[in-house]
Each structure stands twice: as C-alpha cells, then as structure tokens.
Amino acid sequence: MNRRNIRILSGVMALAIFASATNVFATTTAEYDEQISEIKAQQEANEAEAAELNATLGALRAKTADAEEYQATLERKIENYQQSIDLTREHIDELNGSIKELEGEIKKADAEYASTLEKLKKRLKALYTSGGELTTLEILLDSTSLYDFSMRSEAVKSFTRHDKLLMEEIKDYMLKTQEQRDALSAQKTELADQKKALESKQAELEALEAENQKLIEDLNIQSANAEALIAQNERESQDYLAQLDQLIADRAEQAAREEEERRKAEEEAQKNQGSSGGSEYVPSGGGSVDSGDLSFGWPLAGYGYGSITQYYGGMYSGTPHKGLDIGVPYGTPIYASESGQVLSAEYHWSWGNNVLIWHNGTYSTRYAHCSSLAVSAGQYVEKGQVIGYVGSTGQSSGPHLHFEVYQNGTRVDPLGFV
C-alpha cells in the first residue's frame, strides 16, 4: 500500500472516530471549537493536497499531449518511409524486367553466335582434313559446268564474308548488351541498398513508436490514478464539510444549553443573594430594539452618552461609520455589554487590539482600539466582566472605545441596544 492510500485510509478512520467522538466526548462549546478547528485544519490540508493533485494531473495531461503529438509525427515519418520503400521496390521490379528481357536477347545472340561458330569449326575441320583451303581446281573438278563453277566459287566467297560479318555483329552486340546489363545490375544493387537502409530506418522508427506508445499508456494510467485520487479527495472534502456542518449545529445547541444554564444560575444567585455589592460595574440595559432574552449594557463605567465622539452612520474617512466611538481616558476598563463566548481576542490592522463576543445565534459585540486585552478566544465572559482597557491601537487618532453590535452578522446602530 502506497503512502497516499495509507493517508486516505487514515483519514477515513479518523473521520469515523471523530464522528463518534463529537457526540460522546464534546460537552462544552470550547471542546466543540477545538474539534471544529481540527476538522478545518484537516480540510485545509485536504484542499492543499487537491491543488497538488490537480497540478500533477495537469502536468501529466500536458506530457500525454506532447507524447501523442510526437507519436503522430513518428507515424507520418513511418508512412513516408513505407512509400519510399514501395517506390524503390517498384523501381527494382522494373529494372529486373529490363534485365530479364535483355538477358533473353543476349541468350538468343549467344545461341546464334554458337551456331555460326560451330559451322565455322566444321569447315575449318574439313579444310584441315583436306590439307588446306579449297582450291580453284577442287571447285572446278566438282563443278558440272562452267556456270556451276562460277556460281560455286562466288558462293564460297560470299559465305565466308557473311560469316565474318555475322560474327563481328554478334560480338559487338554482346559487348554492348553486356555494358547495359552491367549498368542495370549496378542500379539494381544500389536500389537494393537503398531499400535495405529504408527498411532499417523504418524498423528504428517503429521501435521508437512502440516505446512512445508505451509512454502514452503509462501516462494515461498515471492520469487515471490521479483522477481517482482527486475523486477520493473530493469525497473526503465532502465528508469534512458534512462533519463541520454537524459540529457547528451541535455547538450552537450546546451554546444555547450553556446560555440557558448560565441564565438560570444567575437568576438563582439573584434570588439567593440579591444584588452583589462587588466592585465590578454591571450597567443596566437600555436601547429600543427587542433583543429577546439579552439585555445589553453600557460598556464603560462612569461615562455616558456625553462621551460619544462619533455616532453610527456618520461619515469617517469617506465611508459610513459602522460603530459607536466613546472618548474616555487611556486605560479605562471596558466591560462586556452582555454575557457570551469570546470568538476572538487579537490585533487587527484597523481595529487594533479588539475583542469579539458571541452572545447567541443573532447578536455579537466588538470592542476595538484597546490598549491591552483581559480575555482570550474561547473564554466565556459574564456581563459586566472586564475584557480590556481603552487605548488607541490600530487606526485611531486618540484614546477611545470603538463599540460595535452585530445582528445576524451585520453591524447595526449600538444605540438601539444600550
């Protein structure tokens, strides 16, 4: 099993274990937040791997396209060589036909030459047997008349001249046809060599074609494997998203339970002890918006509406102001306007040191430009608890608190609540 398959198996097992663990071990919103963070981290790793797999698949497809283009080039070259081989073979066949025809004529001339030579041999033999050449006396004695003598004497001379001329013609013809035959044979040898070279090149190209075809097949297999891994990665991603949705829903239910328990505990404490005389400032709620069970309080003790320096909706640096600015001395304690869980407590380039508190599924509050923070992310805070101190961090022109109220994720006028 390769490393990728091991990772997939581990991920699937982790999801199965995690799915059961969320219902068995998660008992607080903080534990849910931890599990959500873990799933998000796994999802991010999964997305990074998906990007890597897609890059790999893209590279494989590019290589496959190059190999297929090269394969087409090889096929065209092979086809050209095959055409050259066919033309060379046809030329060789034509030369073979010419050579065969010429050889037939030479064979016929050889036969005529041999027949004439045989006749000459016989006459020479007869002359040799008679002791010399035919004499005029022998021709005269064998003749029946003077006319016969004259005719026979001329015939012998003519026959001899004819044989000599025939022999010379046959000899010249054989010499000439021999040159033609040698030339045709040389051309045939040259074409045969060319054909052999072409066949050798064709074999080389066919070997390259087979090798390149194997490369294409391997690349296609790798691409198919990458596509399978991408599909598996997508299924894992869907599993992570489903798990996140379930965890977020479970966390919301848990947060509602915790809020209900906190509210009951607070009511019970008020019944048993009355109002505490502690030093914490717990401002009373105000505003005109119906926020359900929530009752938002003023976030600064000892400073009222008269300390407001910038209202919600006013223009600030060319854009509408989305909060309430309250100018108070540096280091003034800032109190939670309502109970809830700290979603973030960190530095932001614009808000500076700021705290974001989640109160329920509808409302959240933010406290910005703090000099320092007194709480951390994931912590549950009570209404009136000190969460930070007034400062001028981030984009700020002087010590003040920038106070925001979020309703269903949208910033609204805080004066409607405090």
* Chain segment 34-49, per-residue pLDDT in tens: 787 788 788 788 888 8
The pLDDT, as a whole number, for residue 320 is: 86
Cβ 205 vs Cβ 75: under 8 Å: no
CA 117 from chain centre, in angstroms, equals: 86
Same fold, 1-119+185-274 and 305-416: no
Q: pLDDT grade, residue 8 (50/70/90)? A: very low
Domain boundary assignment for the chain? 1-119+185-274, 305-416
Higher pLDDT, 272 or 364: 364
Distance CA 394, CA 352 (A): 4
pLDDT of 166 > 50? The answer is: yes
The pLDDT, as a whole number, for residue 26 is: 60
- AA letter at 11: G
pLDDT of 288 > 80? The answer is: no
- Max avg pLDDT among 136-150, 184-198, 297-311: 297-311
Distance CA 120, CA 135 (A): 18
pLDDT of 11 > 50? The answer is: no
* Chain segment 66-115, per-residue pLDDT in tens: 888 888 887 887 788 778 778 877 877 887 777 777 777 777 777 776 77
The pLDDT, as a whole number, for residue 6 is: 36
User: How large is the average pLDDT for residues 343-360?
Assistant: 93
- The CATH code of the domain at 1-119+185-274 is 1.10.287
Higher pLDDT, 28 or 417: 417
The pLDDT, as a whole number, for residue 272 is: 66
How confident is the prediction for the chain on average, in pLDDT? 77
Distance CA 326, CA 303 (A): 9
Q: pLDDT grade, residue 167 (50/70/90)? A: low
Please, what sign has the CA dihedral across residues 211, 215, 216, 217? positive
The CA–CA distances, whole Å, from 398 to 32, 298, 347, 366 equal 39, 20, 17, 18
pLDDT of 14 > 70? The answer is: no
The pLDDT, as a whole number, for residue 205 is: 75
- The CATH code of the domain at 305-416 is 2.70.70.10
* Window from 20-24, 45-49, 51-55, 114-118 with minimum mean pLDDT: 20-24
pLDDT of 377 > 80? The answer is: yes
* Window from 24-28, 30-34, 43-47, 349-353 with minimum mean pLDDT: 24-28
The Cα angle at residue 199 between residues 198 and 203, in degrees rounded to 5: 115
* Window from 5-9, 86-90, 143-147, 227-231 with minimum mean pLDDT: 5-9
User: How large is the average pLDDT for residues 356-375?
Assistant: 94
pLDDT of 137 > 60? The answer is: no
DSSP per-residue codes, 323-342: SEEE---TT-EEE-SS-EEE
Cβ 366 vs Cβ 406: under 8 Å: yes
Higher pLDDT, 323 or 29: 323
